[in-house]
């Protein structure tokens, strides 16, 4: 009995130790970036684990830079457009792939998988030509177009998996009522799919927000940059004199909205994955 209790206690201790390690590992780099960004440049090079005073000079420095503010708006506009397009095309395509049996379905699924494996570099020169031909070089449109290459296959793939898991009865009822496929999607699947759409939409948003290679290659001037490129290109006098304070301030600025978004959506992401059943 005593031994049993001891084992139980050890297990509890082990579990909480693991939780603590995971928490510190996940949060610390971000926490350290926040601390660094709030230090004056004179204290930058001494290692501190806590903040003794708060100094906003790094933030003032980046927000008075027009190109950085512009980059934030570019990123927001591009990411939202990408999410909208991916979900619109994704929900209809996933209905077709997940609910309808037709010849060529496997081929389309394999094509999707094939496209999702496309290394971005493999299409770089071809896509550069397409974008230049469409007059979208150094333009948000070019990035929105090129980002569908990685958001669309992923969105369709995940939404199709969700669509397949929904019970057949739902759709049979809609068919008996004489609903067209479009009405079935809008009235039956959309209300049930929104947790899945939130998940995939968030994934698409983050993927678009994070994208670097296309944004670096298909834009030329500072006013067309997205946030990742703007941050990567912040430079000091030489390679060894990077302005770490402003870099961390910019990093924290673009990360905080995403972290908040994830905090809000995480419950839905996780519980949404298990939700969805016929009621009544």
Partner 1 sequence: MSTPATESAPQTGRSTKAGYRGTKVRRQRVRAAWTFLTPMLVALVLVAGWPLLRTFYLSLTDASLSDTAGAAWIGFENYLVYDNGAWYGLLTDPVWWNSVWNTVYFSLVSVSLEVVFGIIVALLLNAEFKGRMLVRAAVLIPWAIPTIVSAKMWAWMLNDQFGIINHLLMTLGLIDAPLAWTADADLSMWAVIMVDVWKTIPFVALLVLAALQMLPKDCYEAAEVDGIHPVKVFFRVTLPLITPALLVAVIFRLLDALRVFDVIYVLTSNSTSTMTMSIYARQQLVEFQDVGYGSAASTLLFLIIALAVVIYLYLGRRQLGVDQ
> What is the distance between the alpha carbons of residues 279 and 267, in angstroms, rounded to a whole number?
22
Site membership for partner 1, residue 190 (CB under 8 A) = no
* Residue span 204-243 as binding mask against partner 1, x where in contact by CB under 8 A, dash where not: --x--xx-xx---x---------xxx-xx-----------
Among 74, 95, 143, 200, binds partner 1 (CB under 8 A): 95
Tell me: does residue 76 bind partner 1 (CB under 8 A): no
Closer to partner 1 by Cβ: residue 5 or 125: 125
Distance of closest approach, residue 78 Cβ to partner 1, in angstroms:
13
User: How many residues form the binding site for partner 1 (CB under 8 A)?
Assistant: 95
Does 247 sit near partner 1 (CB under 8 A)?
yes
- The answer to whether the CB of 116 falls within 8 A of the CB of 127 is no
Cα(273)–Cα(269) distance, rounded to whole angstroms?
A: 6
Applying CB under 8 A, the span of 56-64, 65-73, 121-129, 187-195 interacting with partner 1 comes to 121-129
| DSSP string for 178-192 | T--HHHIIIIIIHHH
Contact assessment for residue 96 and residue 248, using Cβ atoms and an 8 Å cutoff: no
Surface-to-core class of residue 66, CB atoms within 10 Å of its CB (0-12 exposed, 13-18 middle, 19+ buried): exposed
Q: How far apart are CA 81 and CA 216, in angstroms?
A: 19
CB of 75 to partner 1, least distance (A): 9
Would you count residue 251 as binding partner 1 (CB under 8 A)?
Answer: yes
**Binding to partner 1 by residue 116, rule CB under 8 A?**
yes
């Amino acid at each position: 009995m005593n031994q049993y209790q001891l084992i139980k206690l050890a297990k509890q201790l082990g579990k909480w130790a693991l939780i603590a390690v995971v928490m510190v590992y996940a949060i610390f780099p971000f926490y350290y970036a926040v601390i660094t960004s709030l230090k004056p440049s004179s204290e930058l090079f001494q290692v501190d684990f806590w903040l003794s005073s708060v100094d906003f000079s790094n933030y003032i420095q980046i927000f008075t830079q027009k190109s950085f503010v512009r980059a934030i708006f570019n990123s927001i506009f591009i990411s939202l457009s990408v999410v909208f397009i991916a979900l619109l095309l994704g929900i209809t395509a996933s209905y077709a792939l997940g609910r309808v049996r037709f010849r060529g379905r496997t081929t389309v699924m394999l094509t999707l998988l094939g496209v999702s494996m496309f290394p971005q570099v493999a299409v770089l020169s071809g896509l550069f030509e397409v974008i230049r031909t469409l007059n979208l070089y150094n333009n948000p449109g070019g990035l929105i177009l090129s980002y569908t290459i990685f958001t669309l296959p992923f969105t369709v793939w995940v939404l199709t998996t969700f669509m397949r898991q929904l019970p057949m009865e739902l759709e049979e009822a809609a068919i008996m009522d004489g609903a067209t496929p479009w009405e079935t999607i809008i009235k039956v699947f959309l209300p049930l799919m929104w947790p899945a759409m939130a998940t995939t939409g968030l994934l698409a948003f983050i993927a678009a927000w994070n994208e670097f290679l296309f944004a670096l290659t298909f834009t030329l001037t500072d006013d067309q940059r997205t946030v990742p490129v703007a941050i990567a290109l912040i430079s000091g006098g030489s390679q060894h004199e990077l302005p770490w304070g402003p870099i961390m301030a910019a990093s924290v600025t673009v990360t905080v909205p995403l972290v908040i978004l994830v905090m809000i959506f995480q419950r839905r992401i996780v519980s949404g994955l298990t939700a969805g059943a016929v009621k009544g």
